[in-house]
Amino acid sequence: METTTDFVTRALAKEERRAELIANTVRLVVLTALAFVAVVNFRSLTLEANILNASALLIGYIFGFVVYHRTRRPGHHPAMKYITSCLDVFLVFLLLFSYTQIEIPAVAVKNYVFLVVFPLIGVTAFRYDRTLTYSAGGLAVSLYLIILGYLSFSNAITLSHGGYEQELFSAEVTYIGQATKSLILIGFIILMASLAQYSRSLLVKLVQEESSLRVQQEQTNWELKTASQVQARLLPQTFPTIKGLELFAIVQQGKYVGGDYCDFMKRNDGSILMVTADVSGKGIPAALIMAEIRASTHSLAAIDIDLTELIGHLNTLVHSSTSSKDFVTCFVATIDVQRQIVRYVNAGHPPPFVCSQLQIRALAERTIPLGILATLPTFHVAQERFASGDILISYTDGLTEQRNIHDEEFGEERMKTYTQAHVDLPAEPFALALLKHLGEFGIGRERHDDVGLAVARMV
């Protein structure tokens, strides 16, 4: 697993590379603007000045295109930002020094080209490295003082004690003017270095928080994956064998671990107990409640308890072990193969239905879901004919509520239409084909809810 330090280092490298691309784009744009100015002023400048400008622009463009291609090569090169930033500054002062050879020497310390140094240093603040800002800024101050000292000691200029008026509106170079200019540059460098440090601290904090969230997400995903594997083992893998009856149940998990449960259990009297349940909510809490429902159902089924008592015990279990906002919809039924009847209790669950060649009959009698009240309201066990060739289908709401790309629900009508068209299929092929049909219907939409399906077919 990637450590926080590795993640921060990689994020900084990515941002530095992006900043280098931006800086180079700015470099090429500025060169283009300067080239336009040079062309406009071509007739007013001397031949030497035009040659100097053209040479400087050519060097700048070559430098810019070299950096452009270099930044698109894979890998991170930390030293590159120092080379490009310092070389930018060096080229500006090389141009200023060159002007001393063809123009009035004082122009070198008053030329507008000096202003280009400020955006070049300003760009370094967005590379999250104050050392870079101090390096490029320190080089700029040093080169400026070197040019000033060279011109002064070579008597090319004479520094005077005049004020700002002489500095700004004459060819004179004054101590106060040059000191002010240097202090403004130094102050700007300190400001940009502080901004670079603040930006780095902010970026590191954001990246650390993101890394922490990623670790938590990975841990959560691992826990959900583990819970999903455990839950899958709790779901039935085999089904009771009884002559004249085909059984199949399946739960397809959605995006999260859920609380859908379908099962068949053989009772001592030879009948089959069919259970379909759906816990409210999603995730691990729902899965834990589902596991509790499963364990209790298996325990109660083993003692041949009546459906009324069974559903009452399950209601007490859910009500006493969950919060007031949790509930479980549940359908329990006994299938008597000899008498060809289904006796059932539906506690708030989507109505299952029995389909024959001629009609579909919904098992619609219901009481409230489990866990809402300490004692269920008065209800009775309903009964439905289940003859040879009939198919009984119980499902959870994830099936009918699956939506397609047009935001249409699969719905009960589509399910009934499908069932009537495939009523002759054996239980397992019928269920798997229905789920395949559901998947094709929902192509393009992520499934968030579990889909539980239990099918019993009287042969």
Within a domain: residue 23?
Answer: yes
pTM: 0.59
Q: How many domains does the chain fold into?
A: 2
Whether the CB-CB separation of 409 and 449 falls below 8 Å is answered with: no
Q: How confident is the model at residue 388 (pLDDT cuts 50, 70, 90)?
A: very high
Segment 56-73, tens digit of pLDDT: 888 888 888 887 777 777
Same domain membership, residue 56 and residue 123: yes
Same domain membership, residue 291 and residue 210: no
Same domain membership, residue 176 and residue 140: yes
Alpha-carbon span 352 to 363, nearest angstrom? 5
Q: Which amino acid is at 84?
A: T
Residue 443 backbone dihedrals phi, psi, to 5 degrees? -60, 130
Which two structure tokens, joined as six digits, stand for 154? Answer: 């070579």
What is the pLDDT, as a whole number, of residue 255?
65
Within a domain: residue 227?
Answer: no
Give the residue-averaged pLDDT of 267-287: 87
- 7 has pLDDT over 80: no
Same domain membership, residue 304 and residue 183: no
Within a domain: residue 224?
Answer: no
Segment 154-180, tens digit of pLDDT: 888 888 888 877 777 677 788 898 899
Give the residue-averaged pLDDT of 358-365: 90
Within a domain: residue 229?
Answer: no
Segment 401-439, tens digit of pLDDT: 999 998 999 999 999 999 999 999 999 999 999 999 999
What is the pLDDT, as a whole number, of residue 47?
83
Within a domain: residue 55?
Answer: yes
- Please state the three-class secondary structure of 54-71 as a single string: HHHHHHHHHHHHHHHHHH
Domain range for 308 is 235-458
Same domain membership, residue 304 and residue 171: no
Same domain membership, residue 240 and residue 118: no
Q: What is the CATH number of the domain that holds 272?
A: 3.60.40.10
